[in-house]
Amino acid sequence: MMHVAFVSSGLDAGGAEFALLRLTMALRNRGIAPTAISLRGLGTVGPMLQQASIDVLPLGLPAPGSLAVALPRLSSFLRSRAAALVHGWMYHGNLAALAAGRRVGLPVVWGIRQSLSGALDGWLTRRVIDAGAFLSRNAQLIVYNSVAGRAQHEARGYDASRGVVMPNGFDTERFRPNEALRDSVRARLGIAADAPVVAQVARFHPGKDYPGLLRAAATIASARPDAKFLLIGNGVDEGNAELMELVRQLELGARVRMLGHRDDVADLLAAVDVVILNSTAEGFPNSLAEAMCCGVPCVGTAVGDVPELIGDTGEVVPASDPGALAAAVLRLLALDESARRALGARARERIVQRYSIDEIARRYADLLFSVAHPRH
């Protein structure tokens, strides 16, 4: 087994962190023994990695900029595990991986898990991105999870000769249609069996444009008064004063359920007719792919790799256009049940054929072995 140390900016609940969980679990069947190192704490995903028998080292840094304090410990850990290479995961993790890898003489792979968000990225994040561009020639390989993300970063100055795209992989057995759960989940949520249900699964962040989504929901509700909306993700709950005020202003009332972070998303999707992702910036979105795995037709905005992901199995609309979003959702809701199920089945087949975690892990393992043991 080849030992690979993944150095992540953190392990809180997020698309990049869950992608790391899926990938490391699958790589063990491909001759790789992974370790996850978090610059912060265990977060939400750390215990899940541990439950999967993957070693986790939380460095507990109060801020990513304090890496110098933890660098000797990180370097010692890499030596003790006889790591073959060190793999950064997200911006701060990439810089830490490079610093530690050069210190102990290991090849370094970077993992960039997002597209650029412009003004939505904070000042410090923009500076870290620029530092990454300057230092990128020192990584043996830069792995992007989206074509759009690669193009944007290389335009920003990242070394184009080192880039490769490896999309996220998905557990198509865990996320699959489950018609038997549909009525029970709806009953638990207090939703009628025949009500049209629309969901978004995304954390509360400006890039997910929840205000625009709620405006689209108001338009949908005016055409389909029985429609219900499930909003799922960190910070998307009744404690969010901004969202609650918008719900009040738009007179959406009980039509909107804000469920916050949930560990049972696969079950909740069984109760949903259409999934939205109303982002203004994306790389390769997990939530759409997971919904497609569950046979749910999706509407996404034309950002990042969303158009390639959805293909002809749903609808793609311009970003920041609540009217177009509402119209696309209403078109899908207008389909009869058999047509919508057929569309959902096509969506699932697209993920199974192109993005299953087993196939992505096979390709990823080949890539990592080529870096650790280059052919001369």
Q: pLDDT tens for residues 152-199? A: 999 999 999 999 999 999 999 999 999 999 999 999 999 999 999 999
pLDDT band at 222 (very low <50, low <70, confident <90, very high): very high
Q: pLDDT tens for residues 302-341? A: 999 999 999 999 999 999 999 999 999 999 999 999 999 9
Torsion angle of C-alpha atoms 294, 298, 300, 306, degrees rounded to 10: 50
Cα separation of 126 and 123, whole Å?
5
Cα separation of 72 and 363, whole Å?
32
Closest CA to 96 of 77, 81, 82, 116: 77
Please check the confidence at residue 70 and state whether its pLDDT lies above 90: no
Domain ranges (residues) in the chain: 2-169+356-372, 179-354
Cα separation of 206 and 83, whole Å?
38
Q: Which residue has the tokens 């998307």?
A: 236
- Check if 2-169+356-372 and 179-354 are the same fold: yes
Give the predicted TM-score (pTM) of the model: 0.91
CATH topology of domain 179-354: Rossmann fold (3.40.50)
Classify strands 55-58 and 274-277 as parallel, antiparallel or unpaired: unpaired
Mean pLDDT, range 218-222, rounded to an integer: 98
Cα separation of 63 and 346, whole Å?
44
pLDDT band at 120 (very low <50, low <70, confident <90, very high): low
Structure tokens belonging to residue 352:
């199974």
- CATH superfamily of this structure's domain 2-169+356-372: Glycogen Phosphorylase B; (3.40.50.2000)
Torsion angle of C-alpha atoms 320, 308, 310, 295, degrees rounded to 10: -140
pLDDT band at 255 (very low <50, low <70, confident <90, very high): very high
Please check the confidence at residue 240 and state whether its pLDDT lies above 50: yes
Q: pLDDT tens for residues 280-298? A: 999 999 999 999 999 999 9
Q: pLDDT tens for residues 341-364? A: 999 999 999 999 999 999 999 999
Kindly state the helix (H) or strand (E) to which residue 299 belongs, with its residue range.
Answer: strand 298-301
pLDDT band at 116 (very low <50, low <70, confident <90, very high): confident
